[in-house]
Structure 1
Amino acid sequence: MKKLAIILILLVAPLATSAQGFFDAYEDEKDVTAVVVTKNMFKLLAKIDIESDDPEVQEYMNLVNNLENIKIFITENPATGKRMAGDVEAYISKNKSLSELMRVKDDGQNIKFYSKEGKNENFVSELLMFLEGSMDGKDGTVIMSITGNIDLKQVSKLTKDLNVPGTEGLKKLDKKN
């Protein structure tokens, strides 16, 4: 888990800034690895002059330009994981516009994906993932929230690049759309 946390931090550390939201209290806990990327970072990325005719690069930049924030919270502490599970449940019950996309139970992991409707059926305004179970041979808990104008066809590429545990299920979601 430490290896995963270090890789995740190294991948996103230049992007991390502070944000406010429902799960932000976990950011200050010593047994939680937190990565928060805000709209300001996405605006900065949009200013990067990438000259590429590669359609995949252009699609990736369009995805990034339409994001508001990405928040990832990871813990191996069972007590913190239990609180995270309760907070996710409370968040979902308070946000009636969130609906379950899918559940994946595989290889010692229970993963749930929720979304809030976007501008059409291929887009969502929020994507929430909650994972409980085995990560790199250790039990842990992950909350990942992505907000913005999210193209479901592109989000699996972004989470793969961020190396977020449990997001393998997004590949299945991507193939559905």
Structure 2
Amino acid sequence: MKRTIYILLLAVFGILSATAENNFIEKFANQKGVTYVNISKALLNMMPEGQIDAEGLNLKAVINELDRIQILTCEDNEALIPQMRKESIVFQKAPYEELMKVKDDGETVAFYVQPKTDKKIKELIMLVDDGDCGEFTVIRLLGDISITHLQELTKDAGL
């Protein structure tokens, strides 16, 4: 009986953590003053080969691994941006891991991942908080993303 209860608790916890980021996007996507972009796998697959190379970077390998790209941005909304900042804490907790955070001249850029296996990422989140300009942006990449492809991309970009 205890084993069944533990399995149910783990399943519920997994479902809740998987829907937390969806709830964040859904909550703010339809708010006035928020721009929301959702790019599906079907559209990503339609991109012509030549348009996927950006300044010598071959993005095709990474794009093939993506299921969806979601972008949520809010500008000059003094009521909504503090709420978005507060609720973005969902990305700072398990199952997410912080990769990097950069603070410069009032702007904070943070990268979080939800790992899938040792060499794959289920989700990559980028939070951009430009406190001085009153802008907050969330970029979410979902898929079965190879860490090797991301490393090659950042190496080629000189990062």
Using structure 2 for the length normalisation, give the TM-score. 0.66
Structure 1 pair 80–105 and aligned structure 2 pair: CA distance change class (3 A) = same
The aligned residue for residue 107 of structure 1 is: 105
State the superposition RMSD in angstroms.
3.0
Counterpart amino acid of residue 62 in structure 1: A
- SS across alignment from 1:138: coil
Show the counterpart of 1:13: none
The aligned runs of 1:1-177 (5 Å cut-off) are 21-22=22-23, 23-45=25-47, 48=48, 50=49, 59-76=58-75, 77-93=77-93, 96-121=94-119, 123-134=120-131, 138-150=133-145, 151-153=149-151, 175=159
Correspondence for 2:10: none
Total equivalences in the alignment? 130
- Describe the shift of the 1:155–1:108 C-alpha distance in structure 2 as closer, same or farther (beyond 3 A): farther
Which residue identity is paired with 1:27?
A
Q: Mark the structure with the bigger radius of gyration.
A: 2
Q: CA 1:154–1:72 in structure 2 vs 1: closer, same or farther (change >3 Å)?
A: farther
CA distance in 2, matches of 1:154, 1:147: 19
Segments of 5+ residues of structure 1 without an aligned counterpart are: 1-19, 158-170
Q: Which amino acid aligns with 2:46?
A: L
The Cα offsets for residues 147-173 of structure 1, whole Å up to 9 and x where unpaired, read as 11233236669xxxxxxxxxxxxx7xx
- Tell me, in whole angstroms, the C-alpha distance in 2 between the residues paired with 1:38 and 1:88: 23
**Cα drift, residue 101 of structure 1:** 0.6
Q: Give the secondary-structure state (helix, strand or coil) at the position aligned to 1:30.
A: coil
Deviations 1:44-79 (A, max 9, x none): 33xx4x37xx8x56x411211110111111112122
- Return the alpha-carbon distance in structure 1 between the equivalents of residues 59 and 130 of structure 2: 30
In structure 2, stretches of 5+ residues that fail to align are 1-20
* 3-state SS of 2:144 partner: strand
Question: For residue 80 of structure 1, what is the amino acid of its counterpart?
Answer: L
SS at match of 1:78: coil
1:126 positional shift: 0.9
Q: Quote the Cα distance in structure 1 between the aligned partners of 2:98 and 2:138.
A: 15
Report which stretch shifted further, 74-83 or 36-45.
36-45
Higher strand share: 2
CA 1:115/1:78 → structure 2, altered by over 3 Å: closer, same or farther? same
The TM-score with structure 1 as length reference comes to 0.60
| 1:24 Cα deviation after fit | 2.3
